[in-house]
Structure 1
Amino acid sequence: MGFEHSSWGAESAAINYRQDMDIIDDVLLRKQLATITSPDSQDSIDERVSEVRTIREEAGLPPSGGAPDRITFSTVVKASRGRSLDDDGEVVEVWMVHDRYGTEQGKGGDSNPLKNQLDCLIVKWQDGDWKLTDEPKYVKLKSSPSAYFPDSKFAFKDGWREVGSE
């Protein structure tokens, strides 16, 4: 994917993955995950696809398939907090606060978006890129971030930074 081998590269990769990861099309999500998931965490692909299938069924959609016609979804990461989970900076947890919107063609934006969702992805430098990992030895090292508020000195001290938009 081309993210640099640095702490900022790890955060950028995780943010990009969260924003681009399909949340309703299980077939597309599986393809995306096959590209960005570490070979050490292939079981997590099935788990994430199963989560999407559950969401689809809860929304009254068939368990597998694409997004309903004329509806698109987008995820916008507003802030992130990265921390290394090893001594070399090769494994990084990235906590993110994001909003998720649905838009129906011809009807405008989402009147009830999911706001301020908290999520964590762990990325590992492998084969020249940052890959998602859910290896238990790293998952057990995850931290608990302080709450994110844009103007909070405590959130800033904890490492939260606003994510710029284009």
Structure 2
Amino acid sequence: MSLGDEDGYSTIGGTRQTRTRFPDGEGGDGYGPRRPARSSRSLITVIGVVVLLLGAIAFANMGGGDGGDGGASGSGGKKADAAPTAATGTKPVTGKNGEIASGFAHDQQGAESAAANYSVALVSADILKPAQRAQIVRQVFVAGRVDELETKFNQAYSKDFLDKVGLDENGNAAEGMTYVSRTAPVGTKVTQFSGSSTSVEVWCTGVFGTAGVGSTNPVSNDWFTMTLKLKWEGNDWKVDSFSQKDGPAPVNTDRTASNADEIAKAVEEYGGFTYAR
């Protein structure tokens, strides 16, 4: 299966935020009370950014995959039974590889924990920073895909692309701005499992955008589901391929959005978690 059969890279680095910027019916609150419909000029600008992002996504997905089923089948492979929503209570990992959890159990619970933690890394602001991106790719993906994917990520998130989404060549926001891309897994589900490979769906929500006075891309929230195909390699679960689709999304509330300073402060002061099944 090729990477991104379901728009696999559209969540990476928070680029999804352009899908939630439309007022009212399209789910974007911006900052402050809900705004009236945008002018035609603003709408054209938003559409232009969406086209730009989708172009980069398509470029990153060109030529990936091995044409197989992503390792979901094979010796001992089966469709996983339905799992309860409650946590297992099992310690998720034995250690960390850099900032990313590692040492997941060689079972379904371990695969779900791995998928949840890898989803957070793949949709982080760090994926847009060249130095951190290389580390993430090498820590998350199977060894046989690292060089290929590192090249694709670097080509997709070029200096020209970063400039057009308001970041410098190092993936940093302009002075006085804070780029936000943080994902929180809501739940996981194993759809296929064997001792050597598995497929896990991770239902996620998150906040994405740029916080700061005058930001044209205010921080908003989104809901999406990532499907990660994992392989057991080097005594740990690693990603072989992944894809993404929208939703399931709840009805938005009418809660007043926080201002840019509050969002930026929250991102700096509240740390992330290690996620377990």
Which band: TM-score by shorter chain?
0.5 to 0.7
Which residue does the alignment assign to 1:27?
Answer: 131
| Stretch moving more, 125-134 or 92-101 | 92-101
1:120-131, aligned counterparts within 5 Å? Answer: 120-131=227-238
Q: Shift in Å at residue 95 of structure 1?
A: 2.1
When you count strand as a share of all residues, which structure comes out higher?
A: 1
In the alignment, the residues of structure 2 paired with residue 58 and residue 111 of structure 1 have an alpha-carbon distance, to the nearest angstrom, of: 15
Which residue does the alignment assign to 2:171?
Answer: 66
Please list the CA deviations of residues 86-137 of structure 1 after superposition, one character each: whole Å capped at 9, or x if unmatched.
6x2421222223323346489xxx9642411232222111110111113xxx
Which residue does the alignment assign to 1:159?
Answer: none
C-alpha spacing 1:59/1:103, structure 2 compared with 1 (3 Å): closer
In the alignment, the residues of structure 2 paired with residue 100 and residue 65 of structure 1 have an alpha-carbon distance, to the nearest angstrom, of: 21
SS of 1:60 mapped into structure 2: coil
Which residue does the alignment assign to 2:186?
Answer: 78
Using the size of structure 1 for normalisation, the TM-score is 0.64
Which residue does the alignment assign to 1:36?
Answer: 140
For the pair 1:101 / 2:223, whether they are aligned, the reply is no
Q: Shift in Å at residue 12 of structure 1?
A: 0.8
Identity value in percent: 20
Query: Which structure would you say has the larger Rg?
Result: 2
Instruction: Check whether the contact 2:141–2:240 (CA below 8 A) recurs between aligned residues.
Output: yes
| Corresponding letter in the other structure for 2:167 | L
| Corresponding letter in the other structure for 1:60 | G
C-alpha spacing 1:60/1:115, structure 2 compared with 1 (3 Å): same
Structure 1, unmatched stretches of 5+, are 151-163
In the alignment, the residues of structure 1 paired with residue 103 and residue 117 of structure 2 have an alpha-carbon distance, to the nearest angstrom, of: 11
SS of 1:12 mapped into structure 2: helix
| Stretch moving more, 47-56 or 91-100 | 47-56
In the alignment, the residues of structure 2 paired with residue 33 and residue 24 of structure 1 have an alpha-carbon distance, to the nearest angstrom, of: 12
For the pair 1:10 / 2:111, whether they are aligned, the reply is yes
Q: Shift in Å at residue 5 of structure 1?
A: 0.9
In the alignment, the residues of structure 1 paired with residue 207 and residue 196 of structure 2 have an alpha-carbon distance, to the nearest angstrom, of: 29
Number of aligned positions between the proteins: 140
Out of 112, 129, 150, the position equivalent to 1:45 is 150
C-alpha spacing 1:92/1:78, structure 2 compared with 1 (3 Å): same
Q: Shift in Å at residue 33 of structure 1?
A: 1.1
Instruction: Check whether the contact 1:80–1:95 (CA below 8 A) recurs between aligned residues.
Output: yes
Q: Shift in Å at residue 20 of structure 1?
A: 2.7
SS of 1:125 mapped into structure 2: strand
In the alignment, the residues of structure 2 paired with residue 5 and residue 26 of structure 1 have an alpha-carbon distance, to the nearest angstrom, of: 31
Q: Which protein, 1 or 2, shows the higher relative CO under an 8 Å CA cutoff with sep ≥ 6?
A: 2
Instruction: Check whether the contact 1:24–1:55 (CA below 8 A) recurs between aligned residues.
Output: no
